[in-house]
Structure 1
Amino acid sequence: MGDILFLAHRMPFPPDRGDKIRSHHLLKALARLAPIHVGCFGDTDNDYAHEHLLADIAETYYLPRRSKGMVRAGIEALAKRKPVSLTAFEDAALAEWVAKTIRERDIQTIFVFSGQMGQYIPASFAGQVVVDLCDVDSAKFEAYAADGRFPRKWIDAREGRILSQVEQQLAKRADYTLFVSEAEEALFRSRLERPQDCKTAALRNGIDTAFFDPANSEPHSDLANSTGPNFVFTGQMDYAPNIGAALRVMDRLLPQIRAVHPDATFHLVGRAPVSQLTKRDGEPGIRVWGEVPDVRPFLAGADVVIAPLEIARGVQNKVLEAMAMARPVLLSPEAATGIDASDGEHFAVAPSDQALVGRALEMLDDGPSALLMAAAARRYVVEQQGWDAMLAPLARLCGYAPAAATNETVNRNAA
């Protein structure tokens, strides 16, 4: 069997944000199938501090620093009539490395993580091609445009329109196109002009239940010593859906909760918080922590982990992590998408501001029931969402001998 060429828009180490968590586990699983060659971009000094981990797993690799700014990428996108998502990751040296690797190595399969990297698949490559789109990015930009104002509205509408064409072209080129949930797969297929020409599959995210284990983490001291209930929201805090969800809590949910529980505190935990969020730190009941070395103590200290996203694509790792930590979780229907758990049994789902406030107050008023739900959430994640189970179908999808597995979670839609 031949080698694998793995292309990713971000360095898969360290696995400290949603897309990097998925690419990290995919890379490790693929490396167990065959020698692997990795081309990906580094964004930060922290990425390069973990370069030795990439060197340990890869037969060869190429890790250029992504230095192209969004203004330049936008100008190139307009000139070339391409999505900004592609021009931002367009790099001649990486394309040359890909071509050289294919010439010199016995590459059987190219695995593309995220649609931005599909531009590096040579038209002449005759082997297996698997593209993991994760979610339908074009639909996300269309949603931004629907809620936006000029000029951002025009920019997002253009990106969604052109990116949708690129996604369809990639799906036709690939032997399989993967998504993070059955819902994302169904959405994508509903947008295809000729769905019969594309093979798609849902390969859901897993969770490291040994790492996210409440037995191995004590609550953060600030939360443990607080006088009122703690609400915690985690994530990348320069990401628009997360920003919107955080502001939703601060402006629309927390004031109503504090009217009943005056000491309630909302803890916002995650790297790169934008100024809209950092300037709110210190307001009554609001703490903006920014990047922390370990999110688990904040989850462990939460009375309620809240995820009221109004725009969400794929499966929310933040939700699975909180469930694995056996914390009561309150979320919007959008944040619950792709997780086959049950409202009221494993987490609480509420569609509106008033419903979210009502469920939050119920969870605080009936602590024992909330903790029973949290315990059921951990059992669900341990039994149903482990990475080994989630990635069991990967070998077959990539054209290798099927891995021994008892729980194949892939849902195939073949032409």
Structure 2
Amino acid sequence: MGEILFLTHRVPFPPDRGDRIRAHHLLKALARMGPVHVGCFAESAGERAGEADLARLTASYCIAPRTKPLPLAGVEAVVAGKPVSLTAFHSRKLESWVRKCLVDYDMSAIVVFSGQMGQYVPDDFGGRVVIDLCDVDSAKFASYADAGERAWLNRREARLLTREEERLGQRADATLLISEAEAALYRAHLTNPAQVNVQVIGNGINAAFFDPADAAPQPLITSLPGPHFVFTGQMDYRPNEQAALWVIEKLVPKLRQRYSTALFHVVGRNPTARLMARHGLPGVQVWGEVPDVRPFLAAADVVLAPLMIARGVQNKVLEAMAMARPVVLTGDAATGIAAEDGVHWRISPPDAEAMCAMLEPLLASPDGRRRMGIAARRFVLDQHGWEAMLAPLGDLLGLGARGARDAA
């Protein structure tokens, strides 16, 4: 086994948001197999905060600044006939660094995390190529268009990304998706699915960190009567913003008709202006970025994940389950996690009245919530450890049983 080039669209430290968590654990698994060289992007000085950790784990790295304004990326995309997602993540600096790495080091494999980074894989590279699409980005943009959001632009992005996702599948020795549902969706978009080696590697969870025994509930929340409902995530990510606004506008008024002191807590960095405008409304608290999400999960009577648009496996759901909290979520948010409705969580349609009716028996039974939380944590421990999730990576890189063992 030679050296490995790992290309990811964000600095994979710290592992504090969904895409960075997966990239972080992929990198750690690769570093156990051999020397790893990492090319990635940072949008701000804050995103470079993980550089020292990255340096300790890698043989070399390049962090390219991502400063291109989105309108400029859009103009470049239209002129070049490419998806905006690719032009937004195009960097001459990173392109040059990749070429130099392939000359200077004995690279036996390139591992790509996120489709935007596939543009850096040279056509003439002779080693193994594994591309982790994670989920089907083109389908996300199609969903936005179907919902009437910038329909022309999002439909164009969906169409061009579909072509790029197929090109990457044809180029790669293996193309990874995060769940069987995403893999089926990806295959359905392919012209020649038999020519693409599609594999599923799900998301894991660091259950030793997300352990209710190690996190006291947030004291301000527990000082208030409640019941308390918590939603976590990167709050400038459109599906998260949409879900939180739905709870605030549709669900909270109905909850407060039944529970006059009910509080909904939105926890996560970069809440949008639309969310911040609702902070302080009856029953609504927007916390923004917090140093540790675990106390907020620990303080929740119920964790909500009512996503209307969801791709792949939701880390927020796995984290809440690992913290032994009862979770009420939509079917979209449940994708890729083979938990049992009524045992490990409750799945509700995206309807405020139906969700209220589902929440009532949970809120009426502290013992029932405790049993569901215990079952949820046990399920996560058994089914979603990172070691189990990443065990196939060695075989995909041509390492056989030794690679699978090392990756664990």
Q: For this structure pair, what is the TM-score category when the shorter chain's length is used for normalisation?
A: over 0.9
CA drift of 1:254 comes to: 1.1
Aligned position for 2:364? 365
Q: CA distance change for structure 1 residues 393 and 261 in 2, over 3 Å: closer, same or farther?
A: same
Match of 2:286 in 1: 288
Inter-partner Cα distance in structure 2 for 1:22 and 1:403: 22
Per the alignment, residue 33 of structure 1 pairs with 33
Give 1:402 shift.
2.4
Given that 1:12 and 1:20 are in contact with CA atoms closer than 8 Å, whether structure 2 keeps it comes out as yes
| Aligned: 1:47 with 2:57 | no
Aligned match for 1:171, one of 162, 169, 172? 169
Alignment of 1:52-71 (within 5 A): 52-71=52-71
Which residue in 2 is equivalent to 1:413? Answer: none
CA displacement, residues 205-255 of structure 1 (integer Å, 9 cap, x when unaligned): 000000000000000011111112000000010111101100110011111
State how far apart, in whole Å, the 2-side matches of 1:242 and 1:84 are.
21
Q: What CA distance in whole angstroms lies between the structure 2 residues aligned with 1:10 and 1:142?
A: 24
Report the counterpart of residue 246 of structure 2 in structure 1: 248
Distance (whole Å) between structure 1 residues aligned to residue 277 and residue 383 of structure 2: 40
1:44 offset after TM fit, Å? Answer: 2.3
Helix, strand or coil for the counterpart of 1:268?
A: strand
1:132 corresponds to which residue?
132
1:404 Cα deviation (Å)? 7.3
Unpaired runs of at least 5, structure 1: 410-415
What's the counterpart of residue 274 of structure 2?
Answer: 276
Counterpart for residue 323 of structure 1: 321
Q: Which residue in 1 is equivalent to 2:98?
A: 98
Which deviations, in whole Å up to 9, do the C-alpha atoms of 1:151-203 show, x marking residues without a partner? x1111000000010000000000000001111101110111110011001000
> 1:297 and 1:41 mapped to 2: Cα distance?
30
Tell me: CA distance 1:153–1:306, structure 2 relative to 1, closer, same or farther (3 Å).
same
Match of 1:194 among 192, 195, 213: 192
Please give the alpha-carbon distance, in whole angstroms, between the structure 1 residues aligned to 2:36 and 2:63: 14
CA separation in 2, counterparts of 1:164 and 1:325? 37
Distance between the aligned counterparts of 2:242 and 2:360, measured in 1?
22
SS of the residue 1:273 aligns to: coil
Question: Paired residue for 1:383?
Answer: 382
CA deviation vs aligned residue, 1:254-284 (integer Å, no higher than 9, x gap)? 1111111000000000001101000101110
Cα distance per residue 1:352-389 (max 9 Å; x no partner): 31221111122101221121011100001111111011
Q: CA deviation at 1:146?
A: 0.4
5 Å-filtered alignment, 1:78-89, equals 78-89=78-89
Deviation, 1:403, is 4.1
Distance in 2 (alpha carbons) for counterparts of 1:402 and 1:46: 39
Aligned length: 406
The equivalent position to 2:183 in structure 1, one of 182, 185, 201, is 185
Conservation of the 8 A alpha-carbon contact between 2:348 and 2:354 = yes
Distance in structure 1 (CA, Å) of the matches to 2:65 and 2:404: 38
Aligned to 2:5: 5
How far 1:405 moved relative to its partner? 6.2
Aligned partners of 2:399, 2:84: CA distance in 1, in Å? 34
Q: How does 1:289-308 map to 2 (within 5 A)?
A: 289-308=287-306
How far, CA to CA, are the matches of 1:315 and 1:27 in structure 2?
Answer: 19
Aligned partner of 1:319: which letter?
Answer: V
CA distance in 1, matches of 2:243, 2:15: 23
Give CA deviations for 1:85-108 in whole Å, capped at 9, x if unaligned: 000000111111101100110000
Could you say which residue in structure 1 is the equivalent of 2:144? Answer: 144
**Structure 2: which 5+ runs fail to align?**
none
CA distance 1:257–1:49, change in 2 (3 Å): same
Q: Structure 1 residues 49 and 404 mapped into 2: Cα distance closer, same or farther (>3 Å)?
A: closer
Deviations 1:308-354 (A, max 9, x none): 00000000000000000001100000000000110000000011312
Aligned-partner residue type, residue 133 of structure 2: L
Q: 1:166 to 1:404 in 2, by over 3 A?
A: closer
Secondary structure of the residue aligned to 1:63 is strand
Which amino acid in 2 is paired with 1:291? Answer: E
Partner-residue secondary structure (3-state), 1:165: helix
SS in 1 for 2:252: helix
Whole-Å separation in 1 of the counterparts to 2:65 and 2:328: 38
Q: CA deviation at 1:19?
A: 0.1
One-letter amino acid matched to 2:338: D
Report what 1:332 is aligned to. 330
Q: Which amino acid aligns with 1:387?
A: W
1:101-121 CA distances to partner (integer Å, 9 max, x unpaired)? 001100000000000000000
- Bigger mean CA deviation after superposition, 249-258 or 311-320: 249-258
The match for 1:233 is 231
**Does the aligned pair in 1 maintain the 2:330–2:347 contact within 8 Å?**
yes
Partner of 1:313: 311
User: Match for residue 122 of structure 1?
Assistant: 122
CA distance in 2, matches of 1:372, 1:311: 29
Alignment partner, residue 398 of structure 2: 399
Residue 401 of structure 2 aligns to a residue whose secondary structure is coil
Structure 2 residue matching 1:258: 3-state secondary structure: helix
1:41 counterpart SS class: strand
Percentage identity across paired residues of the two chains: 54
CA contact (8 A) 1:307 1:330 kept: yes
Tell me if structure 2 keeps the 8 A contact 1:232–1:267: yes
